[in-house]
Amino acid sequence: MQLWESKETIELLTSGEASTTKTRPDTSGLKSILIDTTWLDIRGTATTPPCQGSTPNPKSANIALIDSGSDLLSPRRPNGHKKLDEVYWTNRRTASGNANTHCHTDDYEGYDFVGEKGQVHDSIGHGTHLSGILKYATPSNVDLNLMNLKVCSPDPNYAYSIFDLVCAIHYAVDSGAQVINLSLGYSSDIPSLPLYNALKRAEMEDIPVVVSAGNSRQDLSAPNAGMRWPVFFKKPHGNGEFKKLDNLLVVTSINDTNNNLDSYANFGLGLVDIATVGNYFSTYSYYNSSGVYQQDWQAFKGTSQAAAYASSVIGAVKAHNPLIKTSDLFQQISRTHQPVAGLSTKLNTGGTLNAAALYRTLGLPITFTQGISARTKLGWTPGWSEIDQVLPGANVKGILKHKGARTTLNNVMLIITARITGVGGVQEVDRIYYCATDIVDWTLPSPIPANVEQYFATVYIDGVKVEPTMPITPKR
């Protein structure tokens, strides 16, 4: 199969009613910006990750995240983000020791198509941020397997090649992806034939592809709008050679306070399907000014983040109903959407993604724990006292209360800090989020680091600190 055009010229089609076949320069190797470089400037306001549902029967979901790479924690990447554990995909072709017929080396958990290597590192933080959304939005008992495929980096020489994107899509199809997430895009006056072919292969294998609408504040359906790919593959192009693709779900983002489209979000009838919240607090990794690798949590917003959330919902559906047809799935997404005034003229569905209604309509055993939202008369009772000598590896618990009674509360965060010998003050060592819970818990490391004098546990509910901060004294 030919995956790319000639390095000289290729017969491609322009779009529009008067399209004719023309000789065009190769487009597969252009350094188009696949991830909107303005995304890092869009700071979010969220303070917790998205809420996940739960299901009694664990199922697996393979989601191909084609992005800037992700710093997943795994046996082969022990320095990955510590909150992105247990979500890495394993390539059974490579791990089994079988001969690799796909021309990739050491692609045990994914592949870096930019650096042409099996070890994947995220050098801009975008993919790592999306991975946190995928992990924390996916129902807790769905075994999420993220296929870590890197096509973007700051490398100025070959950083944003459409060719790499094409290869990654083919890799995902060949490797059993059930969902492909493309929180990226680029602008061009003509479609890329190899990109179309790759997405067409995914369509033929009935794999849904979730695409971000973009952050350029455009009505993509307007006559003067630039063509954003792969969004525009939802329409036919040329003289019928580029038929519209029916496996693309294009997602834009809404404001999480009033359901209005975010000011930066693209929209457009016939092209953009549905909206969901794009403002998320999630895992993040970066290199500081001294070149030292850092792990963190940051709030960012964009249609990239909205697409990742939609992929988590579709992944949960595919985990429990792997044989569902993409056309049927998209039809149910449309039927169960939440209508929003003002969006009927901007989006194909006219509203927002309603995950709970979708799960319920499809009869999936996924539920969302519901608690109360309270900011006053809060308290908690830890299961240890200040003088306790807590053993290494022990699990400590605390009971949450409202008006003195044990209560399931929404939006709970437990932060663990430590006083470290020779360092002034305390340093954060862990944080745990709960969408709704009546108990918090944390497991001490084993062994306890020699320089840790004492740990402290602090609970926040809806962003409000709950007194007191409780010491945890480890036993030596």
Shared domain check, 383 and 348: no
If you average pLDDT over residues 404-421, what whole number do you get?
Answer: 89
> Which residue segment(s) compose the domain that 150 sits in?
9-361
Shared domain check, 54 and 28: yes
Distance between CA 310 and CA 215 in Å, rounded? 17
Q: What local confidence, expressed as pLDDT, does residue 59 receive?
A: 82
With a cut of 50, say whether residue 6 has pLDDT above it.
no
| Domain C-terminal end among 361, 387, 409 | 361
Q: What local confidence, expressed as pLDDT, does residue 247 receive?
A: 98
With a cut of 50, say whether residue 200 has pLDDT above it.
yes
Indicate the average pLDDT of the chain: 84
Query: pLDDT tens-digit profile of 323-333?
Result: 999 999 999 99
Please state which of the ranges 381-390, 411-420, 428-437 shows the lowest mean pLDDT: 381-390
Shared domain check, 394 and 346: no
Q: What local confidence, expressed as pLDDT, does residue 195 receive?
A: 95
Shared domain check, 385 and 351: no
With a cut of 90, say whether residue 303 has pLDDT above it.
yes
| Within a domain: 3 | no
**Which strand ranges, in their side-by-side order, compose the sheet holding 59-67?**
110-112, 142-150, 59-67, 179-182, 209-212, 248-254, 274-277, 351-352, 338-339
| Within a domain: 168 | yes
Q: What local confidence, expressed as pLDDT, does residue 54 receive?
A: 54
- List Cβ neighbours of 20 (8 Å cut-off, separation of 6 or more): 13, 14, 239
Please state which of the ranges 27-31, 131-135, 201-205, 334-338 shows the lowest mean pLDDT: 27-31
| Within a domain: 96 | yes
In the chain, the percentage of residues whose pLDDT exceeds 90 is 53
For the chain, the three-class secondary structure string (H helix, E strand, C coil) is CCCCCCCCEEEEECCCCCCCEEEEECCCCCECCCCCCCHHHCECCCCCCCCCCECCCCEEEEEEEEEECCCCEECCECCCCCCCECCECCCHHHHCCCCCCCCCCCCCCEEECCCCECCCCCCCCHHHHHHHHHHHHCCCCEEEEEEEEECCCCCCCCCCEHHHHHHHHHHHHHCCCCEEEECCCEECCCCCHHHHHHHHHHHHCCCCEEEECCCCCCECCCCCCCCEECHHHHCCECCCCECCCCCEEEEEEECCCCCCECCCCCECCCCCCEEEECEEEEEEEEECCCCCEEEEEEEEECHHHHHHHHHHHHHHHHHHCCCCCHHHHHHHHHHCCEECCCCCCCCCCCEECCHHHHHHHCCCCCECCCCECCCCCEEEEECCCCCCCECCCCEEEEEEEECCEECCEEEEEEEEEEEECCCCCEEEEEEEEEEEECEEEEECCCCCCCCEEEEEEEEEECCEEEEEEEEECECC
If you average pLDDT over residues 411-426, what whole number do you get?
Answer: 88
pLDDT band for 56, please (50, 70, 90 cuts). low
Q: Is residue 398 within 8 Å of 470, Cβ to Cβ? A: yes
Enter the tokens of residue 389.
């000598």
Shared domain check, 180 and 45: yes
pLDDT band for 410, please (50, 70, 90 cuts). confident
Shared domain check, 390 and 353: no
pLDDT band for 290, please (50, 70, 90 cuts). confident
Number of domain units in the chain: 2
Q: What local confidence, expressed as pLDDT, does residue 142 receive?
A: 85
pLDDT band for 48, please (50, 70, 90 cuts). low
pLDDT band for 281, please (50, 70, 90 cuts). confident
Strand partners, 378: 402
Enter the tokens of residue 207.
């794999």
Q: What local confidence, expressed as pLDDT, does residue 248 receive?
A: 98
Higher per-residue confidence, 218 vs 6: 218
| Domain C-terminal end among 361, 393, 413 | 361
Strand partners, 367: 54
| Within a domain: 183 | yes
Q: What local confidence, expressed as pLDDT, does residue 259 receive?
A: 83
CATH classification at residue 419:
2.60.40.10
Distances in Å between the alpha carbon of 319 and those of 30, 312, 342?
A: 36, 10, 33
Counting Cα atoms < 13 Å in the Cβ hemisphere of 423 gives 13
Query: pLDDT tens-digit profile of 330-360?
Result: 999 999 999 998 899 999 999 999 999 999 9
Cα four-point dihedral sign 42, 436, 128, 445: positive
| Domain C-terminal end among 328, 361, 394 | 361
Shared domain check, 445 and 319: no
Q: Is residue 319 within 8 Å of 359, Cβ to Cβ? A: no
If you average pLDDT over residues 206-228, what whole number do you get?
Answer: 95
Q: Is residue 304 within 8 Å of 130, Cβ to Cβ? A: yes
CATH classification at residue 133:
3.40.50.200
- Let me know the angle formed at the C-alpha of 445 by 439 and 446, rounded to the nearest 5 degrees: 130
| CA-based nearest residue to 63, from 366, 304, 316, 321 | 316
Q: Is residue 146 within 8 Å of 134, Cβ to Cβ? A: yes
With a cut of 70, say whether residue 390 has pLDDT above it.
yes
Query: pLDDT tens-digit profile of 124-172?
Result: 899 999 999 999 888 877 889 999 999 987 766 545 688 899 999 999 9
If you average pLDDT over residues 31-39, what whole number do you get?
Answer: 55
Shared domain check, 400 and 351: no
With a cut of 60, say whether residue 15 has pLDDT above it.
no
Shared domain check, 274 and 414: no
With a cut of 50, say whether residue 429 has pLDDT above it.
yes
Q: Is residue 162 within 8 Å of 30, Cβ to Cβ? A: yes
Q: What local confidence, expressed as pLDDT, does residue 386 receive?
A: 59
Distance between CA 191 and CA 147 in Å, rounded? 26
| Within a domain: 372 | no
| Within a domain: 282 | yes
With a cut of 50, say whether residue 367 has pLDDT above it.
yes
With a cut of 50, say whether residue 19 has pLDDT above it.
no
Shared domain check, 466 and 426: yes
| Within a domain: 373 | no
Shared domain check, 315 and 426: no
With a cut of 90, say whether residue 434 has pLDDT above it.
no
If you average pLDDT over residues 246-253, what whole number do you get?
Answer: 97
With a cut of 70, say whether residue 197 has pLDDT above it.
yes
| Within a domain: 278 | yes
Query: pLDDT tens-digit profile of 86-118?
Result: 899 998 876 555 555 555 778 999 999 988 899
Shared domain check, 432 and 316: no
